[in-house]
Amino acid sequence: MRRDTLAPLLIGAAVIAAIVAGLTITGGPMAARAEKRDMARLADLRILASFARCVAEVTDNLPTALAPVDGCGTDLPLVDRATQTPYRYDVLSETGFRLCASFERPDLITEYEVAGASWQPDAGCFAFTRP
């Protein structure tokens, strides 16, 4: 009799505690949506990075600004889809540049997200060097 009521209560309590703890880590639907927006930003930055590298390859110079160039892509994702703010592109040196976005959950982004870049979490930037 006691086992019949106690065991389900314990299972229920353990599961609810685990779910609540899990949600504090994953952060619920709104945080997940923010994560999804970050993924879209990362995808855009990857496209812009390969565009900049392509321009450097073709013209032997890094582009001064992110303006469409024939042969390297003309349909560039220049603005953040969620906030409509433009992505930042800075030329750091003759061979280095960086691309920045306002990431909402920078703690989840690792250096491996964009190939060949170094991640600067405080600025929300990926720094690249020309190959």
Closest distance to other proteins from the beta carbon of 119 (Å)? 12
Q: How far does Cα 131 stand from its chain's mean position?
A: 22
Residue with tokens 């976005």: 101
Identify the H or E element spanning 125: strand 125-129
Phi-psi region of 37 (alpha: psi -120 to 50; beta: other; left: phi over 0): alpha
Q: Closest CB to other proteins among 10 and 79?
A: 10
Q: Closest CB to other proteins among 7 and 67?
A: 7
Closest distance to other proteins from the beta carbon of 118 (Å)? 17
Q: Closest CB to other proteins among 32 and 92?
A: 32
Q: Is 112 exposed, middle or buried (0-12, 13-18, 19+ CB in 10 A)?
A: exposed
- Distance CA(100)–CA(91), nearest Å, equals 12
Chain residues in the site for other proteins (CB under 8 A): 3-4, 7-8, 10-12, 14-15, 18-19, 21-23, 25-26, 32, 35, 108, 110
Closest distance to other proteins from the beta carbon of 64 (Å)? 34
Closest distance to other proteins from the beta carbon of 2 (Å)? 12
Q: Closest CB to other proteins among 78 and 119?
A: 119
Greatest pairwise CA separation for the chain in angstroms: 81
